[in-house]
């Protein structure tokens, strides 16, 4: 046993959750540096600030503390970070003109790895590992969306792969008969939910949010792909 306290603090109880804002000086300094770098490098500064602001809220707001108690809150945090913040920031930066599929594979590998039992519990035992998880997930997601944006007509396979792997992961944890993360046996019941039900809720969130987003992306790409020959013929 150690005296280490996770970055977002000890798991909260419902009565104290809304008072659990995180104003850690290192976090605030890191956010300020990220804002300055993004402001300097972004093509569309308004979009970057929007994405940065949402990301800041994910770690300053009580959602950060809730993610210490509930796996579903951690998954909600990651969904918002990778499927909302990442595409907004990617749209603010210069397109990355590289094949999208390798970045889709990288994102999938990181997503599955960080939500596996051993790496997951490691993020609750070390600030370095905790931030390695979030920064690698966000970075790989930004690269994925930046490559999809640069060449959407060539990214259909990457988008389909990403949607499929998120759906598969969501199905596995939703239908699993056992709890993947024993940490939540002690933390989830305070919120009136069992650890298994919490895990099922996490899977449902991922299934709906991830699936809906990538089905929309695939539909838009397919529509653009179908229309491209008509435009070429007109020219």
pLDDT (tens digit, 9 = 90+) per residue, 108-129? 999 999 999 999 999 999 999 9
Task: Give percent of the chain with pLDDT exceeding 70.
Answer: 91
DSSP state of 7: T
pLDDT at residue 1, rounded to an integer: 40
109-115, long-range: CB < 8 A, 24+ apart? 110/136, 110/137, 110/140, 111/78, 111/82, 111/137, 111/165, 111/166, 111/169, 112/165, 112/169, 115/75, 115/169, 115/173, 115/180
SS3 content of the chain, % helix, strand, coil (to 5): 80, 0, 20
Count of alpha carbons within 13 Å of 51, Cβ hemisphere only?
A: 26
Rounded Cα gap, residues 143 and 149, in angstroms: 10
The CA-CA-CA angle for residues 130, 134, 140, to 5°, reads: 140
pLDDT at residue 125, rounded to an integer: 92
Answer whether residue 231 shows pLDDT above 60.
Answer: no
Answer whether residue 150 shows pLDDT above 70.
Answer: yes
Residue with tokens 């306290």: 5
Rounded Cα gap, residues 187 and 222, in angstroms: 44
**Whether 42 contacts 92, CB under 8 Å:** yes
Helix residue ranges per DSSP H, 61-95: 63-69, 71-80, 86-92
Rounded Cα gap, residues 185 and 173, in angstroms: 16
pLDDT at residue 121, rounded to an integer: 94
1-10, 43-52, 142-151, 214-223, range with the lowest pLDDT: 214-223
pLDDT at residue 232, rounded to an integer: 46
Q: Is the pTM of this model over 0.85?
A: yes
């Amino acid at each position: 046993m150690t005296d280490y306290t996770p970055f977002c603090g000890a798991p909260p109880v419902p009565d104290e959750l809304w008072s659990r804002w995180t104003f850690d000086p290192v976090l605030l300094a890191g956010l300020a540096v990220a804002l300055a770098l993004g402001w300097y490098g972004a093509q569309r500064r308004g979009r970057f600030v929007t994405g940065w602001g949402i990301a800041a809220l994910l770690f300053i707001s009580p959602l950060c503390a809730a993610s210490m108690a509930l796996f579903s809150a951690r998954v909600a945090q990651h969904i918002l970070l990778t499927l909302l913040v990442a595409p907004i920031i990617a749209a603010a930066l210069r397109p990355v003109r590289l094949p999208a599929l390798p970045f889709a594979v990288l994102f999938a590998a990181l997503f599955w790895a960080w939500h596996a039992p051993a790496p997951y519990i490691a993020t609750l035992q070390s600030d370095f590992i905790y931030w390695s998880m979030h920064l690698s997930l966000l970075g790989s997601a930004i690269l994925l969306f930046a490559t999809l944006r640069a060449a959407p007509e060539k990214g259909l396979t990457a988008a389909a792969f990403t949607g499929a792997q998120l759906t598969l992961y969501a199905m596995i944890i939703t239908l699993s008969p056992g709890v993947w993360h024993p940490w939540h046996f002690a933390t989830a019941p305070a919120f009136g939910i069992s650890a298994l039900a919490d895990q099922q809720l996490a899977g449902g969130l991922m299934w709906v949010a991830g699936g809906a987003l990538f089905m929309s992306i695939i539909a838009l790409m397919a529509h653009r792909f179908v229309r491209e020959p008509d435009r070429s013929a007109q020219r």
